[in-house]
Structure 1
Amino acid sequence: MPIVILLQRTKFIYANMATDQEFNELRPYRDHEIHQVFQQLLKEESFIELLKYLFPHVPINDFVNQLLSINTIKEFQIGVVYPFIKEIIKDTTKGVTAEGLDKLDPNKSYIFISNHRDIVLDSAFLNILLHEHGHETSEIAIGDNLLIYPWITQLVKLNKSFVVRRNLPARQMLQSSNLMSKYIRYNITERNQSVWIAQREGRSKDGDDRTQTSLLKMINMSGNGDFEQNFKEVQIVPLSISYEYDPCDYLKAHEFLLKRDNPDYKKTQADDLKHMGSGIKGRKGRVHFKAAAPLNEELVGLNELDKHERLNKLAEIIDNHIHSNYKLWPGNFIAADFVNGNKLFASKYTKEDADVFNAYINEHISRLNADKEFIHACLMEMYANPVKNFYNG
């Protein structure tokens, strides 16, 4: 090959390679930036108060000295985040288990697309499991609507979160989606860094987990090949997250009630903080994560469909994995029988299971001074929908 052509091609490749600087407005912090961020955080009174609340048995000066001795994001995650999340697991769950992660190559990176139950803990538990299975932790997509204070933004970006901008005008949203798409692909193909992202904007309030085609359209924006090649390149792993009890279930049901009575109702930032706190502190029972194999062979043939059918078919493939890999607990079957008005799944639970689950539901309903019959129906549907999706495939 003539040297001139080789130099031209090399110049083109370097001109089109992404760099961290291009993504400064959304990317997490890198190792060389963390000391400056720690110094800023430690000047925030509300952050210091949060530390005292989260770590009541650790003298604040000891914690500050620990932070200032940290030199990398990995040290921060292992030394600070990991033990905190392990305490949450110990105090609020009956164990967090996983399937499928041991079948993924720890030397490769993936996009984990999952159903979404808890604002904070879905991705936090995943990173605990990835670490314990010998993988690097994933970067986390987080909506800017949750970044209520500047110090929250700083804190989550220390924990490998990148910012998804919401509620932008159409033109800005297109630009933002393009940038995020490039960033996700840059992570997978150039940084060998896995990413977690929910299958839809916001959590599934009713337990009916469905992948938004707009998410897949965004991921595809940055591809330079055909539809199949673009998605093979980013190694999508459908991930099912199954909580025996959703500590925010009654809050989600209450939101349905508020929207029933006022169709224009929207959650406030204070509501989001309440959901985050309840999710972290509330009872969860058993929690299970199951990862499917990366989507490769199932992508074959999608190029032959039109552009809308491709997205719908890919969403259907992801949903089928999430539904079929969902771990169904006794409460799910109890709720399904209640909703259907039969005993089809009676062999899946005992009378004791039913007593425990119904006591849990009644206790959560009692927290609300509202239409209790409506709240009960919402809660039962919430727990029944994963059963319907599992068996309807």
Structure 2
Amino acid sequence: MNVEFDEIRPYHDEELPQIFEELIADPAFRQAAATVMPDVPFDVVAQKMRACKTKLEFQKTFCYGLLWKLAADTTDGLSLDHTALPDKKIAYTYISNHRDIILDSGFLSILLVDQGMDTVEIAIGDNLLIYPWIKKFVRVNKSFIVLRALSMRQKLEASARMSRYIHYTIGEKNQSIWIAQREGRAKDANDRTQDSVLKMLAMGGEGHVIDRLMEINLAPLAISYEYDPCDFLKAQEFQLKRDIPDYKKSTADDLLNMQTGLFGYKGRVHFQTGACINDELAKMDRSLSKPELFARLSALIDKRIHANYQINPNNYVAHDLLEGNETFASHYTAEDRQRFITYVDGQLDRITIPNKDLSFLREKMFLMYANPLRNYLAAIKE
């Protein structure tokens, strides 16, 4: 056993019986289970948990069905195109844009299961592990922990350990991983890979930076939500940050974002993998400085993600509304346009902050839906 990763890794399968007993005894977990599965007596839940011998078995017993039910209730369809990665036996590091705190990785896992593949391990920030039962639950659910509230020196050490863990997981366990291209979600949907994420990934492994990154089979993944249930919360945050210089989201805000993202309407949701970038990495100039190398890599991943977005009529409508023209009018109907305007007005009504700046908020909402189109058009033009 590699004890170096004990603080952050998912539980080993042999640790599950003990953790299940701790969860079963936790009143907060029992309450959460009753909320999610109101028709199932907790004794039955406990019995089913105790019968699970592996993390994957637990996921298939509980999470798989719940996530598909959530998809049926809150989306107009959930799809994955994995054809760019034909070899299903290889473990990949799926690096993707980030739309929903919980569902990006959750939906990806159930879609992979339906294509005969394993679920992914998930990088999750410890700021979201608000209660002890959540921390246990996510580690049962194949998550590894990203430690956030650390000093600079501790952050560096934690990043290096996490990188070694990712390399170990891909190389030794042959287990795929999902990681967001940046810390937190892009509030304006202008998805860009942070160099810091790539630097972290290149800390583990052996040899040149390029060799280290090739070890983990980076595969860009584009996630497209037709509607973002948290769009009004993101717009609200833009105004609060504009008006309050030191504004910071609270734990309650994080919880509200998680809840809204889970249960809000999303329209069509599509996952599209790009090819593994190892071929491109192999061609890179090894004499480049590290900043230049990471900048080129970020641009490559961004382009792959942007070119694989699923563009919906509302993205075209938002672009035209933002620009005050009808450039993309051939891509939507009058009904599409009116439906989107009505939707945005309804979401704006949900914002309850003082001094609500409607024109500012509306513009931010339009921008969230226009940016994926802008980035898509730039990516396919090059």
What is the TM-score when the length of structure 1 is the normalising length?
A: 0.94
Q: State the SS of the aligned residue for 1:33.
A: helix
8 A contact 1:240–1:289 mirrored in 2: yes
The answer for the alignment partner of 1:316 in structure 2 is 299
8 A contact 1:228–1:302 mirrored in 2: no
**Residues 300-358 of structure 1, C-alpha deviation per residue, up to 9 Å, x if partnerless?**
12413111100000000000001110111111110011112211111111111112111
The answer for the alignment partner of 2:359 in structure 1 is 373
8 A contact 2:84–2:274 mirrored in 1: no
Q: State the SS of the aligned residue for 1:289.
A: strand
Deviating runs (4+, > 6 A) in structure 1?
Answer: none
The answer for the alignment partner of 1:43 in structure 2 is 25
8 A contact 2:222–2:308 mirrored in 1: yes
**Alignment partner of 1:285 is 2:267:** yes
The answer for the alignment partner of 2:287 in structure 1 is 304
Q: Which amino acid aligns with 2:377?
A: Y
CA distance in 1, matches of 2:334, 2:340: 10
CA distance in 1, matches of 2:330, 2:92: 38
The answer for the alignment partner of 2:378 in structure 1 is 392
**2:65 is matched with which residue: 77, 80, 83?**
83
**1:326 is matched with which residue: 296, 302, 309?**
309
**Alignment partner of 1:363 is 2:346:** yes
**2:203 is matched with which residue: 221, 246, 258?**
221
**Residues 155-202 of structure 1, C-alpha deviation per residue, up to 9 Å, x if partnerless?**
011100000011311110110000000000001111101110000000
CA distance in 2, matches of 1:163, 1:103: 27
CA distance in 2, matches of 1:177, 1:200: 14
What is the CA-CA distance between 1:101 and the residue it aligns to? 4.8
Alignment of 1:34-113 (within 5 A): 34-101=16-83, 103-113=85-95
The answer for the alignment partner of 1:182 in structure 2 is 164
What is the CA-CA distance between 1:102 and the residue it aligns to? 7.0
**Residues 265-300 of structure 1, C-alpha deviation per residue, up to 9 Å, x if partnerless?**
011111101110001100000000000010122111
Q: State the SS of the aligned residue for 1:95.
A: strand
Q: Which amino acid aligns with 1:58?
A: V
**1:171 is matched with which residue: 145, 153, 172?**
153
8 A contact 1:95–1:285 mirrored in 2: yes
Q: State the SS of the aligned residue for 2:78.
A: strand
Q: Which amino acid aligns with 1:376?
A: R
8 A contact 1:97–1:289 mirrored in 2: yes
Q: Which amino acid aligns with 1:194?
A: S
**Alignment partner of 1:351 is 2:344:** no
CA distance in 2, matches of 1:192, 1:343: 49
8 A contact 2:81–2:273 mirrored in 1: yes
Unaligned 5+ residue runs, structure 2?
Answer: none
| CA root-mean-square deviation | 1.1
CA distance in 1, matches of 2:25, 2:357: 45
Unaligned 5+ residue runs, structure 1?
Answer: 1-18
CA distance in 1, matches of 2:350, 2:83: 37
What is the CA-CA distance between 1:232 and the residue it aligns to? 1.5
What is the CA-CA distance between 1:228 and the residue it aligns to? 2.1
What is the CA-CA distance between 1:20 and the residue it aligns to? 3.2
What is the CA-CA distance between 1:373 and the residue it aligns to? 1.8
Q: Greater shift after overlay, 126-135 or 296-305?
A: 296-305
**Residues 102-130 of structure 1, C-alpha deviation per residue, up to 9 Å, x if partnerless?**
73322110100000010000000000111
Number of aligned residue pairs: give it.
375
Q: Which amino acid aligns with 1:349?
A: Y
8 A contact 1:323–1:389 mirrored in 2: yes
Q: Which amino acid aligns with 1:322?
A: I
What is the CA-CA distance between 1:371 and the residue it aligns to? 2.0
Q: State the SS of the aligned residue for 2:325.
A: coil
Say which one has the larger Rg: 1
8 A contact 1:139–1:160 mirrored in 2: yes
- The percentage of counterpart residues that share the same residue type is 47
**Alignment partner of 1:267 is 2:257:** no
Q: Which amino acid aligns with 1:267?
A: K
8 A contact 1:101–1:133 mirrored in 2: no
CA distance in 2, matches of 1:196, 1:176: 18
What is the CA-CA distance between 1:223 and the residue it aligns to? 2.4
Q: State the SS of the aligned residue for 2:271.
A: strand
